[in-house]
Amino acid sequence: MAEFLSQANLARVSREVRRPAYDRRTVDIGIVHFGPGAFHRVHQAWFVEKLLASDPRWGICAVSLRSTDLRDALVPQDGLYTLAALDGSTSYQVIGALKQTLVAPEDPETVLEQLCAPRTRVVTITVTEKGYCLGADGNLDMAHGDIRRDLRSPHSPTSLIGYLVEALKRRRANGIGPLTIVSCDNLVDNGTRLARAVQQLAEAGDRNLARWIEEKVAFPRTMVDSITPATTDALRDRVAEVLGMTDRWPVQREGFVQWVIEDRSAADIPDWASAGVIVTDDVEAYDRAKLRLLNGAHSSLAYLGLLAGHETVTQAMEDMDLAAFIATMMERDILPTLKAPRGLDLALYIQAILKRFHNPAIRHALAQIAWDGSQKLPFRLLGTLQDNLQAGRPIDRLCVPIAAWMHFVRRKAADGEQVVDPLARRLYDIGRSCQNRAAADLPMFLGLDTVFAPSLAGNEIFSSALARAYDGLAAGS
């Protein structure tokens, strides 16, 4: 199909596709976003799209810190792209919120100009955890190559943190005013961690600037949620057929989408609530509910589903016994550890999660969810388990997915494969030494003190329940 999506061709897009409900010529840039990957385009940009019809001040300048791929795909399309929402039926929408796309290494000064423009009042971020250049202790890693370069040459930054510090330095010097800087990455306490990193880099060069940032700049915490499968050729073909023209880089997500932002700002910000964003003073409670109910259930489904021979979340949920186990664990073992934030009915939230897991339009591979188990399990399952231990509640069900992760490692190693995990080599060595018996295998796993705190590993109630779960799964595998 020779014709491509663009502003000039927008009027010819099929009528079954939603188009921007505003004149894009009236839109100004008010938000700079770092990391414009698929998730940003299905999530934050979609919320901004809803704002622009009533308030055109909030167009987005999208900044890539490395890759040129998005710029190369979307600049010829005037920043337009198609979002496919996969639910009971698939709906399509052309998003026009991206007004400019920049590649930072090619033109750092233009990036800084946009960050320092008086009309820019918000910065949003999805660069994944590694983009924050943090050390193992959660502080800014001053030995990181990008940070060392930014310390030597602050006026032409390399890292996200370097860009933010240099921009804030210029805004302060020119009397432009502070920014509201919104981390949308899946980091615990994301806003606080970002604020600390920015202040630490600023402190290394200018203590007065660091103090001004601490006093004036807002770093609200957030929680984001929507399953976002990668763009495939099949999606490109479907979108081309529906549009009646080619989109170089469409994106897709499930129908469900959620954004929770802490009620904290430095200056004028968008009316997020009018776009469906939850603005609250209790982001932590939302984050905890998602981490334990959604992510904890996801990981459990992955390890148990793989052990049972399933490949995707939907296939695993078609296993009635497994689906019932997951639902029971959420309702009886996880729910009692949570405090419902204002505006969220946790029982309804559980039902919504289970419905999402059943969505046949989303092909979410269990093997991908199983990645990085040594990092995820302490937050997704072990915290819940420890709370139940402390409260004297049963932990047998919660031990089953932990044991399933161990069998996942063991079986991969038996096949000569390493798991995708920061501890891949060590887990491979453990897996190769396993005998498929709790008495022999559990001490090796429980010796991973970055996964199992010594106080938990040495708890007899936990080790006994885990041994029963491990040997029970071994008998069935």
- The greatest distance separating any two alpha carbons of the chain, rounded to the nearest whole angstrom, comes to 69
Cα–Cα dist 157/133, whole Å: 13
Q: Which pLDDT score, from 0 to 100, does residue 2 have?
A: 66
* CA 71 to chain CA centroid, nearest Å: 22
Q: Are 63 and 32 in contact (CB under 8 A)?
A: yes
In three-state secondary structure terms, 47 is helix
Cα–Cα dist 444/102, whole Å: 48
Q: Which pLDDT score, from 0 to 100, does residue 477 have?
A: 60
Q: Are 14 and 84 in contact (CB under 8 A)?
A: no
- CATH level 3 topology of 284-476: N-(1-d-carboxylethyl)-l-norvaline Dehydrogenase; domain 2 (1.10.1040)
Q: Which pLDDT score, from 0 to 100, does residue 230 have?
A: 87
Q: Which residues contact 406 (CB under 8 A, 6 or more apart)?
A: 441, 442, 445, 470
DSSP state letters, 210-238: HHHHHHH-B---EEEE---PPP-HHHHHH
Domain residue spans of the chain:
10-281, 284-476
Q: % helix / strand / coil in the chain, to the nearest 5? A: 55, 15, 35
Please state, as a whole number, how many other Cβ atoms lie within 10 Å of the Cβ of residue 142. 13
Radius of gyration (Cα) for the chain, nearest Å?
24
- Which residues of the chain carry a pLDDT beneath 50? none
Q: Same CATH topology for 10-281 and 284-476?
A: no
Q: Which pLDDT score, from 0 to 100, does residue 263 have?
A: 96
How are strands ordered across the β-sheet holding 251-254? 90-95, 81-86, 251-254
pTM exceeds 0.85 for this model: yes
Tokens 């595998």 belong to 477
* Assigned superfamily of 10-281: NAD(P)-binding Rossmann-like Domain (3.40.50.720)
Q: Crossing angle for the helix pair 160-173 and 207-216, nearest 10 degrees?
A: 90
Cα–Cα dist 374/369, whole Å: 12
Q: Whole-angstrom distance between the N-terminal and C-terminal Cα of the chain?
A: 50
The two tokens of residue 96 are 């026009």
Q: Which pLDDT score, from 0 to 100, does residue 456 have?
A: 96
pLDDT digits (tens, 9 = 90+) for 387-439: 999 999 999 999 999 999 999 999 999 999 999 998 999 999 999 999 999 99
